[in-house]
Amino acid sequence: MPRIEINEKYCKGCLLCIPVCPFDSIEVSKSLSAYGIHIAAFKKDGKCTGCKNCATVCPDMAIEIFKD
């Protein structure tokens, strides 16, 4: 099953990826990044089909899709 990884160094917390996920698998992180912002995070029980909507909409290229 595919999965996504969000690079904390690149994510600026715009959260544009959240509404484009067809499975509602991305959420706002509960902890702060090194820059002191809440960034996007893949839910622990999230489902990913590898549609790449989140990666496509990310202006900072902070999201990578892995197909295991």
14-40 tens-digit pLDDT: 999 999 999 999 999 999 999 999 999
> What's the pTM?
0.90
- CATH class belonging to 2-67: alpha beta
4-15 tens-digit pLDDT: 999 999 999 999
43 — alpha (psi -120 to 50), left (phi > 0) or beta? beta
> What confidence category does residue 48 fall into, taking pLDDT thresholds of 50, 70 and 90?
very high
Q: What are the Cα distances from residue 67, in Å, to 11, 15, 51?
A: 21, 23, 11
Domains of the chain, residue spans = 2-67
